[in-house]
Copies of this chain bind each other. A is one copy, B any other.
Amino acid sequence: MSPRLQPALHAVWWDSDAVGYIDQRRLPLELIRARASGVDEVVSAIASLAVRGAPAIGIFAAYGVALARAQHTDDDGFRGAAARIRSARPTAVNLAWAVDRMMAAPEGAHLDVAREIHAEQRAIDRAIALTGAELLPAEGSIITHCNTGPLATGAGGTALGIVIEAHRAGKRLHLYVDETRPLLQGARLTMVEAERAGIPATLIVDGAAAATIERKGIACAIVGADRIATNGDTANKIGTLGLALAAAHHRIPFYVAAPRSTIDFALRSGEEIPIEERSAGEVRAFGGVPTAPTQSDVYNPAFDVTPGRLIAGIVTEYGVVRPPYTDGLPDLASRPSGAFALRASA
């Protein structure tokens, strides 16, 4: 244990007869720890984005179902409550997956299964962090985009988990953080995570990434992923492709960190990845302050696709996959996804 260690940032936790969480809507202004003591509050916390990040939502929902089981003596009431949690956000894959797994739990074992889901995430994130930390320089500057730390996964984080682990292990790193418009996850969340972890960090606007890599001598870029095709093409938060192009221009490695569950073995390339378009309001205003004419037409894709050829390595809980990805990624199809954690740490 190093004296530089800071208290960890936990996004969600079991809190006796409630589910604890950090209300991420209040960040970066306040670090509010809240309790959902009933199903209504669990659903509301998910729907309102107080808890966000796909893995964190899954863990939170699992605890929520355990809470519902404790509070409902009748099975119909319990099943209704679980269904409400499951549909709190329509497109969150981890949410449905976690609730379904909870509903298959033996009677009396719901809290244990929720804790198991949480423990698995910690083990996956830990394996990614340990493996990825070796890719970072012993000393130097790195750059990231969006939010991939403890707040996003409910455990150690993926790309930022790697940076935190490398810092803990004694590497002397300086982190540059893209603010990540439109929703500013880099500014609002990653800067908070870096501060809590004691990592020196500097915020930049997304458009400054290329200039920053050049003028600050950045050694490498590292980001997370929302979906990865078997040729390495990676969908991630809008702006990731711009960072990858800047990294390629300045000839520094660009790494992706993501659990095996992010790889979509059905996809041969990024062209098959559907790209969600989000509302114009995210771009036309911030915090209620208009940034553009109120009727402006807006194109607001949530993700972009970075070609696998721009990616130097993909860090998973099973190790670093290197190009050509068409060889290395399909090999992971036979490895377990969710069950990794307990087996690896058993």
> Number of A residues contacting the other chain (C-beta, 8 Å)?
57
Copy number in the complex reads 2
Is B188's CB under 8 angstroms from A292's CB?
Answer: yes
Is A204's CB under 8 angstroms from B291's CB?
Answer: no
C-alpha spacing A249/B306, complex, angstroms? 11
C-alpha spacing A340/B32, complex, angstroms? 62
Q: Does A1 contact B (CB under 8 A)?
A: no
Q: Does A84 contact B (CB under 8 A)?
A: no
Say whether chain A's binding surface is mostly helix, strand, loop, or mixed. Answer: mixed
- Which of B211, B238, B290, B296 is in CB contact (< 8 Å) with A241? B211
Is A204's CB under 8 angstroms from B287's CB?
Answer: no
Report B-chain residues with C-beta under 8 Å of the C-beta of A286.
286-287, 289, 291
Q: Does A181 contact B (CB under 8 A)?
A: yes
Is A288's CB under 8 angstroms from B289's CB?
Answer: yes
C-alpha spacing A192/B212, complex, angstroms? 30
- Tell me whether A300 and B181 are in contact in the complex, defined as CB-CB below 8 angstroms, given that A215-B275, A245-B242, A286-B286 are known contacts: no
Q: Does A158 contact B (CB under 8 A)?
A: no
C-alpha spacing A187/B296, complex, angstroms? 9
Report B-chain residues with C-beta under 8 Å of the C-beta of A242.
206-207, 209-210, 242, 245-246
C-alpha spacing A275/B273, complex, angstroms? 39
List 5 A-B pairs, minimum CB-CB distance, nearest first.
A207-B239, A287-B289, A187-B292, A211-B304, A181-B205
Contact surface of A with B, Cβ cutoff 8 Å: 28-29, 176, 178-182, 184, 187-188, 191-192, 195, 200-212, 215-216, 238-242, 245-246, 249, 275, 283-284, 286-294, 296-301, 304-305
